[in-house]
Structure 1
Amino acid sequence: MGEAAGGTIRLAVVDNDPYSLRGLTAVIGRMRECTVLWRTELGTDALRRCMDPKTASLDVMIVDMSLDDISGIEVCRRVRRRCPGIGLVGVTAYSPERFLSDAAACGMQTLIEKRHVFERLPQAIRLAAQGRAMQTDAAEGYGIRFPDVDGCVGQDVRTAGFEAEDIPQRLSSREMQTMRCYAQGCSTDEVAANLGVNATTVYSYQKRALNKLHARTLPQAVCMLAKKGLL
């Protein structure tokens, strides 16, 4: 993690839209301290390259949420598991609310709407290269905080003095069901389908659960409940 020799930030860009791919690369090209090592339109190709020592050496990966083969969320989840030191910056042409929870849960450092990349992407890249998250108003509105890179592994789970038997009393059955689904690797849409509600309701369950558990992020809350043997 961090900047390469000479202060260069080494990046990869993953986007299924060739025009967007070129646009993101152009934005990065305006940053003198950055160099794009490779770019691809396929999530599976990105994962292959991350595992190849000849093309790995990355500080930051920019990932579109809507790829043709596998989702950007799944790409980031696997990258975080296999290459824990890489900063992950998500981008989307859609409203970010639909991805926020999953983006934070899979270890992204921020999520940016494509219409804001010119003004926000440079800062996000510089922070991610240092392993730091960039919070957004949209995420904080849902009580979601993006984790720093170091916070994605071995997180400092705060139990706030709760005993294991206290937690189910503090979380409703729906909130516990929501957290169990996330712990099983479900996306927000999958959680909504499992519970028979919409994604907005799932966000509400999640936000209330995090507040009750005094957890800053979804991964922290899941780790806390797992530590207590409740998942």
Structure 2
Amino acid sequence: MGIEKGTPVLVAAVDNDRMALLALKGILPQLLPSAQWLWGVGNADEAVAKALNPETRPRLLLVDMSLDEATGVSVCRKIRMRTDRVMLLGITAFSVDTYAERLAAAGAQGIVSKADIPQLAKALRTVAAGGTFVPNSVASVTFRTAADAHRLLLDNGTTASIGNGTANAGAEDAGHRAAKLGAKESETLHLLSRGLTYDQIAAQWGVAASTVRTHAHRAVDKLGAHSLAHAIALWLSR
């Protein structure tokens, strides 16, 4: 699905850092001259709703990997399960290696570092044109086109449904609970369930709060949870 000449590329973004959204909006015309900024939000659910609404649907959605109560991976999966009309490009301030494999499985068309402006420009042009972008550091990861990714996710969902029948919902929750978490991921959910904040956990461990947030987001993805609260609930029910 290419871009007709002269047609503006509608671009939107979800990032819980308001300054990052403003920076993206400001630099976008230089990176992708054909782009037209559509909207920028900091909330995962709002981004999914806007992306699926034909009146607010962008051609290309930039998805930050580290959101507050959800992950960029889950945002991409929710959108791709419903449509192939939105191109999805993951963006991150951390290493792309951390998210690339899970993001590809969630139906995105690529991932790029926010700090690498030349690569960001290349990724925007490539994905907006209907292609896929794979950073050199994750060359072994296969990103698929929106149409192929959408079809694959639907096929996997249908296969799982047929195989499990009416017991599918219960089996799904059991699978979530049985998902293997790393020690730090489990400990993060344990401490969050006791009411500690990212900053408090970071102080205990002597690390940055962003490190704790990454552990939490990995746990959310591994458990197949819809949000951090859902992940904690699944972990507590194990």
Classify the TM-score, shorter chain. Answer: 0.5 to 0.7
Secondary structure class of the residue paired with 2:78: helix
TM-score by length of 2: 0.61
Relative distance call for 1:129 and 1:191 in structure 2 (3 A) is farther
Structure 2 counterpart of 1:54: 55
2:96 counterpart residue number: 96
The answer to whether residue 144 in structure 2 is matched with residue 147 in structure 1 is yes
RMSD of aligned alpha carbons: 2.5
The residue type paired with residue 46 of structure 1 is A
Contact 1:50/1:83, CA 8 A, preserved across alignment? no
Q: How does 1:107-126 map to 2 (within 5 A)?
A: 107-116=107-116, 118-126=117-125
Q: What is the CA–CA distance in structure 1 between the aligned matches of 2:176 and 2:85, rounded to whole Å?
A: 21
Count of paired positions: 161
User: CA 1:153–1:12 in structure 2 vs 1: closer, same or farther (change >3 Å)?
Assistant: same
Per-residue CA deviations over 1:163-208 (Å, capped at 9, x if unaligned) read xxxxxxxxxxxxxxxxxx9xx789xxx65549x9xxxxxxxxxxxx
Distance 2:2 2:180 in 1: 34
Aligned partners of 1:131 and 1:191: how far apart in 2? 35
Cross-structure match for 1:36:
37
- Is the Cα contact below 8 Å between 2:110 and 2:134 reproduced in 1? yes
* TM-score normalised by length of structure 1: 0.63
Is 1:20 the equivalent of 2:20? yes
**Corresponding position of 1:132:** 131
Q: Which structure has greater helix proportion?
A: 2
1:66-123 Cα offsets, whole Å, 9 max, x none, are 011311110001111112121111011112221111111111111111111x211222
Partner Cα separation in structure 2 for residue 36 and residue 69 of structure 1: 25
In structure 2, the gaps of 5 or more residues are 153-171, 186-238
Letter in 2 for 1:79: I
Distance 1:52 1:103 in 2: 22
1:149 is matched by which residue type in structure 2? A
Offset at residue 28 of structure 1 (A)? 1.0
Distance in 2 (CA, whole Å) between partners of 1:95 and 1:131 is: 24
1:98 and 1:35 mapped to 2: Cα distance?
30
Other-structure match for 1:6: 6
